[in-house]
Amino acid sequence: MKKDKLYIILCLILATILSGCIEEYQAEIPTTDSDILVVNGTIRSSEQNTFILSLTQAINSDPMLKFAEHAIVSVRGTDGSEYEVDGFYGVYSCWIGELNPDVEYYLHIEYDGDVYESEPQKPLRTEKIADVSVVQNTPESNIDILVTPDAPFNPDKTNYYSWECDETWEVHSEYRTTIYYDIDLKKAVYNDKQFPWRGWKDATKSFMVGASNNYEGQHIQRLKIYDIDRSDERVYYKYSGLVHQRAISKAEYEYELACKQASSEMGGLFTPQPSSLPTNIRCLTSSRHVIGFVGCAMNTSAFRFFLNADDYSIEYPPYEDTRLWVENPSDMNCIRLLEKGMFLCAWIDERLAGKDLQTAWAFQEQLDVRYKGAYTDEPSFWSFTEDDDNLQSSDIK
C-alpha cells in the first residue's frame, strides 16, 4: 500500500475572501485516530506470506514510513490451525503450506496492548491468465498493457480480480567505449571490458483491480491494467513485465477502489478520512480504528510478457553529444584529460590522409550504466541475440 494511503489529512486551506489572505486551519482529529494501525498483506496458499504493519502519520510529518514493531502476528484457521509469523521492523512473514478450501482463515495481531483480527474467509481460487497484450493505438499514444484471464470458474456471477506487475527494463549508458588511451604506446588500444554499458532496473506496479460485470459471460477480455508513456526510459530498449493475478472478494475490490479514490483526492475538502475506509479488520479489545484489508487466496497466477522498442513508436530525448572532442591532442593533453577523470571514447586518426586526429572523451558516469542505478547481472528470463562484434571497431578509425 502506498504511503499516501497512510496519511491523515490534518490541514485544510481556507481562502478568506474578505481579507484576501490565506490562513491554515488545523482540523481537530480525535486522539484515538492518531497512529492508526495499517495492515497490508494477503493470506496465500503454498507461498511466502508477507504482512506489513505500519502507522498513520500527519501529512506534514517525517516522510519516512512509521512501522508497527514488536507485534505478535499469526495466521489462523477456523479448524484450529495456526501459522506463526516472524517480524522485523514492521515486516512480518512466514511460509504457509496448502490451505484447505473448506476452512476459513484470518490474521491475528497483538500490538500495543490491543488485539486485532481480520474477518475469516475461505481462500479464493484464481483462474490462469490467458494473455497479456501490448497495444499502442496511434504513434503518439501511450503503450497500453491489457490482460485477459482464462474463462471464469463461475460465469454466473461478477468476478473480481487484482493485478500487480514486476517490471524489468534494459538501460544503456550514455556512451560506450571499447578503447582506452595507453600512456606508454601513446595511442588508443582496444578494450571493451572497462565499463558495463548495459544493465537493468526493476520496479513493482501497485495493485490494479477490475470487475467482470460489463463483460459477456463474466469473462474479462483485454482489460487495460496500466500504461507506459512512450517517452519513458522503461521502453527505450526492452521491457518485461511479470503480471500477477489474484481473485478477490467484492469487499476487497471496494476497499481498493476507495483507497485509490482517497489517494487521488488527497487534500480535497470532502476527502474521506483514512479511518472511514472500508476494512475487514477490527480491534477486539478497544474502539481503535484500523486500516487495511486482508484477503485470502488459494493460488495466484502469473504471466510474463516482453516489449521491444523496435515494434513501437518510442519518443526518445533529443540527442546532444556531451563528450569532449579534442582535435590533434598532444601526449601531454591526453595525460591531463586522464588526470581529470576522463576516458577516451573515440580515436579517429586520418592523418595519413592529410586530415586531423579527432578524439572524444567522457567521464565515467557517462560510460558506466551503474551510475544510472542499474544492475549488470542479466536476469535469468532475459534474452539478447544482437551481434556485438560490430561494436569492437566502431570507436577506432
Q: Give the model confidence (pLDDT) of 120-179 as tens digits.
A: 999 999 999 999 999 999 999 999 999 999 999 999 999 999 999 999 999 999 999 999
Of 280, 303, 306, nearest to 291 (Cα)? 280
Q: Which three cell numbers stand for residue 340?
A: 581529470
pLDDT-derived band at 30 (thresholds 50, 70, 90) equals very low
Residue 159, H or E segment: none
Mean pLDDT of the chain: 86
Would you state the pLDDT for residue 13? Answer: 28
- Quick one: DSSP state of residue 146? E
pLDDT-derived band at 274 (thresholds 50, 70, 90) equals low
Angstrom distance (rounded) from CA 236 to CA 255: 35
pLDDT-derived band at 268 (thresholds 50, 70, 90) equals very low
Q: What is the pLDDT of residues 385-396, one digit of tens each?
A: 444 433 333 455
Of 31, 36, 41, nearest to 111 (Cα)? 36
pLDDT-derived band at 278 (thresholds 50, 70, 90) equals confident
Contact 303, 146 (CB under 8 A): no
Mean pLDDT for 37-47 is 94
